[in-house]
Amino acid sequence: MSAGTKIGIIICDRYRRCAGGKCLRALKNREGAFSIYTGTEAELVGYTSCDGCPGGNIEYAGEEMLKNGAQVIHLATGLVVGYPACPHIHTFKAFLEKRHGVKVVVGTHPIPQKYLDMHTHLGSWEDPSWKPLLAPTMSDEATRLAYN
């Protein structure tokens, strides 16, 4: 294995009571957006919520995660699968990258099939700007079903 990557995860405040089980399982198994770490070490150095719309904790959380050594910040899958999907996710990504010069990946665990089905039905992700944001967590159907 090559040298490790230190990561931070920012979750949607709607899920602030989330214990992180799907994110941590995906990190361990290198699934979803964490597949980019296959064959390498990855260490979680921060886990927090955005603090609710419009993301009052984004500035502080990014700064704190970098102080803890984060090299990559993941905006959790919950930000894209919640109802509605986070209306600030593009801004969060751009802000963190510009302000802190850190790589930002949208997604953590694979999108569960039930969320893909509902968002497809609702047309939530029809705008082309969602395609690159969803790509890291769009796994095969068997994996999506395992995360339902």
Query: Residue-wise pLDDT tens for the chain (148 aa)?
Result: 456 999 999 999 999 898 899 999 999 999 999 999 999 999 999 999 999 999 999 999 999 999 999 999 999 999 999 999 999 999 999 999 999 999 999 999 999 999 999 999 999 999 999 999 999 999 999 999 999 9
- Quick one: pLDDT at residue 144? 96
Q: Which CATH class is domain 2-146?
A: alpha beta
DSSP string, the chain: -EEEEEEEEEE-GGGTT---HHHHHHHHHT-GGGGGGTTEEEEEEEEEE--STTTTTHHHHHHHHHHTT-SEEEE-THHHHSSSPPTTHHHHHHHHHHHH--EEEE-SSPPPHHHHHHHHHHTTT-STTHHHHHGGG---HHHHHHT-
- Quick one: pLDDT at residue 81? 95
